Amino acid sequence: MLKINNLHAKIEGKSILKGLNLEVNAGEVHAIMGPNGAGKSTLANIIAGKDDYDVTDGIIELNGEDISELAPEERAHNGVFLSFQYPVEIPGVSVTNFIKTAINATRKAKGLEDMPAKDMLKMIREKSELLEIDRKFLSRSLNEGFSGGEKKRNEIFQMAMLEPKLSILDETDSGLDIDALRIVANGVNKLKSKDNAVVIITHYQRLLEYIVPDFVHVLYDGKIVKTGDASLALELEAKGYDWIKEMA
């Protein structure tokens, strides 16, 4: 599904990614771990198409197609979802209305009519029941006064509704309490299927107590320096990142 080969990227002239390789297949959950400043968020943002970065070398393919020239919206329409893509507060626009607009924008880009209101309501009902999200939450103003857990609930709801092929969840660690972690983990576990893939970026092993990844990668100094199964996360938790430094 996702194939990244020899990715090099700079920010403001500084090299951040230095030859990164990553391959993610449908049906898989990958975790990317690594110390602060390693380039994890940079990788997520580049896959999603944010333009603050100079990609100087490498290939990013989604389902066999080079996506490196596509705008973020086009990548989203091709099934890429990045958490916190829509962190804006929009007073007066509810969680539900926002997602309706996003879904219809995606449909329009594909030349489709708006989703019939009846189908939209059915989908909202099904997904919110699956994720145990109550109606009151759906009518709240987008991100306005949301707690950490509510922000996560909103993100996971967006992910459920947009049915992305590839979800990238950049769990920028700080402020994620146990409730928020559970919301993310339950969502990922429930939405996982043989047709989609999830990449979870995290600094800590905690989240991986609830989601068992198929692969764990260590990103260090702009490269994936080690790949293993879920036990690698435990090893990192026990040993820290210093031993990785010696390998890199």
CB under 5 to 8 A by kind: which of ligand ADP, Mg ion, none does 113 bind? none
Rounded least distance, CB 12 to Mg ion, Å: 16
Distances (CA, A) of 174 to 13, 27, 158, 160, 222: 28, 28, 21, 24, 21
Cα–Cα distance for residue pair 78/63, rounded to 1 Å: 10
Choose the binding region for ligand ADP from 35-43, 88-96, 111-119, 231-239 (rule: CB under 6 A).
35-43
Query: Per CB under 6 A, does 225 bind ligand ADP?
Result: no
CB under 5 to 8 A by kind: which of Mg ion, ligand ADP, none does 120 bind? none
Rounded least distance, CB 36 to Mg ion, Å: 5
CB proximity list for 117: less than 8 A, separation 6 or greater: none
Query: Per CB under 6 A, does 40 bind ligand ADP?
Result: yes
Rounded least distance, CB 196 to ligand ADP, Å: 23
- Residue 102, φ and ψ in degrees, nearest 5: -65, -45
**Cβ–Cβ < 8 Å for 217, 50:** no
**Cβ–Cβ < 8 Å for 47, 33:** no
Q: In the complex with ligand ADP, which residue's Cβ is closer, 36 or 193?
A: 36
| Residue linked to tokens 């086009």 | 74
CA 21-27-33 angle, 5° bins = 45
Residues at the contact surface with Mg ion, assessed by CB under 5 A: 36, 40-41, 172
Query: Per CB under 6 A, does 38 bind ligand ADP?
Result: yes
Query: Per CB under 6 A, does 11 bind ligand ADP?
Result: yes
Rounded least distance, CB 228 to Mg ion, Å: 21
Q: In the complex with Mg ion, which residue's Cβ is closer, 44 or 99?
A: 44
Query: Per CB under 6 A, does 12 bind ligand ADP?
Result: yes
Considering only residues 41 to 60 of the shown chain, the ones binding ligand ADP according to CB under 6 A are 41-42, 52
| Residue linked to tokens 């928020």 | 180
**Cβ–Cβ < 8 Å for 44, 167:** no
Cα–Cα distance for residue pair 241/236, rounded to 1 Å: 6
List 171's β-bridge partners, or say none. Answer: 202
Site string for ligand ADP, 96-135 (x = CB under 6 A): ----------------------------------------
| Residue linked to tokens 């990013």 | 60
Choose the binding region for ligand ADP from 40-48, 99-107, 187-195, 226-234 (rule: CB under 6 A).
40-48
Residues that bind ligand ADP (CB under 6 A): 11-12, 16, 34, 36-42, 52
